[in-house]
Structure 1
Amino acid sequence: MSFLDDDRPKKPVAHEVGCDLSSLSVEEIDRRIGLLEEEIVRLRTDRAQKQAGRAAADSIFKR
């Protein structure tokens, strides 16, 4: 039933890199900074997991 998923409204983007910030309040900017900091943590965590997997594979196959 994946065709039903296509009819669902898309989640609005919380922040788009490079967007115009002139109309945002200080509070809105602070919220966006928080969202971006959380995303950085998520990206770094995923990168570390992938690096660990790659290192494990390298240690097995480079013997």
Structure 2
Amino acid sequence: MILDEEPTKRSKGHELGCDLSAISSDELWHRVTLLEAEIIRIKNEIERKDAGRKAADSLFGPKV
């Protein structure tokens, strides 16, 4: 097999602002799925950090 004949590998990620014109519809849907999963992961981390901050504020906040 010649190196030029190797099948193209699906990209594992997405670069913001990249040119989408040469990417197939199936690949674009795959990227959408990956990005939606990443959004959920980020939102879960925000919630976890906010809960930690609220717990610290209730423990160390000013006593009234």
Q: Per the shorter chain, which TM-score range?
A: 0.7 to 0.9
Q: Which runs of 5+ in 2 are unaligned?
A: 1-10
Q: Which runs of 5+ in 1 are unaligned?
A: 1-11
In the alignment, which residue of structure 2 is the partner of 1:25?
24
- The runs of 4+ residues in structure 1 deviating greater than 4 Å are none
RMSD between aligned residues: 1.2
- Alpha-carbon displacement from aligned partner over 1:5-51 (angstroms, at most 9, x marks no partner): xxxxxxx6510111110101110000000000000000000000000
Count of matched residue positions in the alignment of Structure 1 and Structure 2: 52
In the alignment, which residue of structure 2 is the partner of 1:50?
49
TM-score normalized by the length of structure 1: 0.77
Q: Report the identity percentage.
A: 48
Cα distance in structure 1, aligned partners of 2:12 and 2:26? 17
TM-score normalized by the length of structure 2: 0.76
User: Which has the greater radius of gyration?
Assistant: 2
